[in-house]
Amino acid sequence: METQLRVYLAGTIAAVAAFLFVSLAFSGQFNFVHGGVFIVFFIVVMVVFTNFIEWAESLESN
């Protein structure tokens, strides 16, 4: 479980850094509401994808 949390944390930090860079590079400003929505959406998609992978692997082992 600890390894999974580290992966979530590392992925979220990388995604936020990429979002911040793209947002500043193209618009010159950062909107905290858009950033917050992006972080929440990214974490939800990451958790769903991880659960999907675990489900698919469980079917493969049966």
The overall pTM is greater than 0.85: no
What is the rounded distance in angstroms from the CA atom of residue 27 to the CA atom of residue 31? 10
Nearest to 42 by CA among 20, 3, 12: 12
What is the rounded distance in angstroms from the CA atom of residue 12 to the CA atom of residue 19? 10
- Residue-wise pLDDT for 23-41, tens only, equals 999 998 988 999 899 999 9
What is the rounded distance in angstroms from the CA atom of residue 29 to the CA atom of residue 10? 24
| Number of other residues whose CB lies within 10 A of the CB of residue 12 | 14
Q: Is 50 exposed, middle or buried (0-12, 13-18, 19+ CB in 10 A)?
A: middle
Instruction: Report pLDDT for 1.
Output: 67
